[in-house]
Amino acid sequence: MTPDTQGTVSETADECVVVVGGTGEIGSRIVNLLRARGRRVLTWDRSAPDVASASHITCDITDPDQIMNALKATEERTGRIDTLINSAGIGQFERFLDVSADEFRHIIDVNLNGPVNCIRAVLPGMLDAGAGSILNITSIWSTHVGPLRSAYIASKWGLLGVTKSLMEEFRDTGIRISAVSLGPVVTRLSERMIPAAERDLWMTPEEAAEVVVNVLAVSGDQFVGSEIQAYGRARPSGLGAAVLSRAVAES
Going edge to edge, which strands form the sheet with 227-230? 56-58, 40-45, 16-20, 83-86, 132-137, 175-182, 227-230
Give the C-alpha distances (Å, rounded to integers) separating 86 from 101, 116, 163. 25, 9, 11
Please tell me whether residue 50 adopts helix, strand or coil conformation: coil
DSSP character for 37? T
Integer Cα distance of 222 and 243 in angstroms: 43
Of residues 141, 152, 170, 202, which has the active-site annotation?
152
Query: How many Cβ atoms are within 10 Å of 108's Cβ, its own excluded?
Result: 18
Integer Cα distance of 31 and 24 in angstroms: 10
Q: Where are the alpha helices (DSSP H) in 140-199?
A: 150-169, 188-191
Query: How many Cβ atoms are within 10 Å of 239's Cβ, its own excluded?
Result: 23
Per DSSP bridges, beta strands 16-20 and 83-86 are parallel
Helix (H) or strand (E) holding 243: helix 241-250
Residue 183: closest CA among 163, 160, 157, 201: 201
Residue 231 falls in the annotated catalytic set: no
Integer Cα distance of 179 and 195 in angstroms: 28
Instruction: Report, as residue numbers or ranges, the catalytic residues.
Output: 152
